[in-house]
Structure 1
């Protein structure tokens, strides 16, 4: 083995080890006691009081926001404070939410696509307790692709569909990422990431509906360098919660993010959807 081959092997081993640590952390977050696999219901609120089998009390919403009325003996803990009787959550902002603790469960109170929802999360949910991991492609450095971030003059409001029929999400797209793959010029519209400065892209590709989830995958991109350079590490392309459960309101990629190439990297179709 030559020195070059030794370095290449060492680099590949280091790359794989770093990816494995990232992958384990992803799986742990997904299967956490109150992660998305613990969701037992997706309840849409209106002005009529409603009761749900997996949450305490009676729930309604209106112009002033969400209110729950708890029965005698029932209690929620909101922001560390026990509450009984009627509790007013107020108006929750889009994509915002409050987690109220109920015994060993968490009752997520949130707004998605302009709708107020209640989404209980129980550690004993069968989807969570039966989870055996997500199938993945073997990681390889060839899928860590250099790109360049091109900021728009002003962020562009971008409306996308959702996993729930009839629901829409609106995001402010600050720019796009241009890159090449196998000599082909491509680009992806980017949305703000969860961490300030980072970017998030939603995409489908030629593997979607074959070996990967049909509706979407997501990729987080580190903050661009001063000259706009970024790395699209498709080895870290992940499924959104809707790939595992129908009790999610995940956004779909904008039309321009449907890549005409096969990205054989990252997470595959979950076993929960028939993946192997």
Structure 2
């Protein structure tokens, strides 16, 4: 797999507080990268930079070899832990809204054949996330799992290449969470996505990811704790095969190649 994203010596600083320092990564197209680490280690800052919500203080981020501009583009979709859905719109119109904004940027409203085509696309996407029979419900009538399915449909309707997940399943019950894991794995494959997911759940990180990154501070100064940022402490490549000289977790058939970025 070729590198889709390249981060080169990326620093994130807020005033005199350093959050990330000297981060360098290559993220392959089609990979599922789980990002873990303690609170304050810069996991969400990393997602915001890739999304385009903010720019690094120093360093560069490349998408397909071109500098990533600090603006949210249609090639990147995002799903947050809190359901980012419009409470006054139905399931269908929540999903349709992104297409209307893209294709009619001045009015956010499509008409005639263009609207019918967009509705068909929205219905197809909602069927893909398991909401094909819930088109006319409003968010207040839906469970948390259904609302998160809707948020995923919103993120995918414009066919992004990269899907960013910020603790997307943290508020869900265990049974619903397992269903969402199966859903996101299927969508990752069906839509040829590159997924970058922040999670605090270690089991989730390893069960879903093809790669697990641990962000953490390697340097500490008790007199100035804010002056050192997080780095990639561990970079674990996971595969489904078990070649010689690797460590395999027999409970799930995952092979782990460990790169300790010390």
TM-score by length of 1: 0.28
Normalized per residue, which structure has more strand? 1
Question: Which structure is higher in RCO with an 8 Å CA cutoff and minimum separation 6?
Answer: 2
Normalized per residue, which structure has more helix? 2
The structure whose Rg is larger is 1
